[in-house]
Amino acid sequence: MTSSNSREMKQKLSGFKTEVANSMNISLNQGYNGDISARDAGRIGGQMVKR
């Protein structure tokens, strides 16, 4: 995988994560999100896997 493909996949995954978080009323910042709880991070990840 080239770096351009890798960058594109990271952007798509980030967009999907933001979409899932917004649908759950969890606000994410662009970039670092270390201030959200582990519970919320897990809920976002769990929904991403389900979808």
pLDDT at 20: 97
Rg of the chain's alpha carbons, rounded to an integer? 12
Specify the higher pLDDT residue, 2 or 40.
Answer: 40
For residue 10, the model assigns a pLDDT of 92
Residue 1 has pLDDT above 90, yes or no: no
Contacts of 37 (CB under 8 A, 6+ apart): none
The pTM is what? Answer: 0.81
Please state, in angstroms and rounded to a whole number, the distance separating the CA atoms of residues 22 and 27: 6
Total tally of structural domains belonging to the chain: 1
pLDDT at 24: 96
The 8-class DSSP code of residue 36 comes to S
Contact 44, 21 (CB under 8 A): yes
pLDDT tens track for 2-11? 778 899 999 9
Distance of CA 15 to the CA centre of its chain: 7
- Residue 14's domain comprises 4-50
pLDDT one-digit tens code per residue, 18-38:
999 999 999 998 889 999 999
